[in-house]
Amino acid sequence: MNASSPRLVPCPQCGALSEWRPENKWRPFCSERCKLIDLGSWASEAYKVPVQEQDAGSSDNPLDD
C-alpha cells in the first residue's frame, strides 16, 4: 500500500468500506447513522462484556480470609 492511498476498513455496523483518515469524523464507522446504531446497542445492553460469576462461598481475595 502506498502512502497516498487511504486505508480502507470495514464499518463495524454495516460492513461498508470507509476511509481511516482524520477527515472521517465517524471512523471506524462509515456514517453517523452506523455510529448511532452501535451506540444505541450499547445503551440498550444488546452488547455485554462477559463476566464470570463466583460462588458466594469462595473468594480469590486473600484479604477476605
60, part of any domain:
no
In a domain, 56, yes or no: no
**SS3 helix, strand, coil % of the chain, rounded to 5?**
25, 10, 65
pLDDT in tens, 10-43: 999 999 999 999 999 999 999 999 999 999 998 9
Q: Count of CB atoms within 10 A of residue 38's CB?
A: 18
Predicted TM-score of the model (pTM): 0.63
Q: How confident is the model at residue 5 (pLDDT cuts 50, 70, 90)?
A: confident
Count the domains in the chain.
1
Q: Is residue 53 part of a domain?
A: no
Give the domain range for residue 16: 7-46
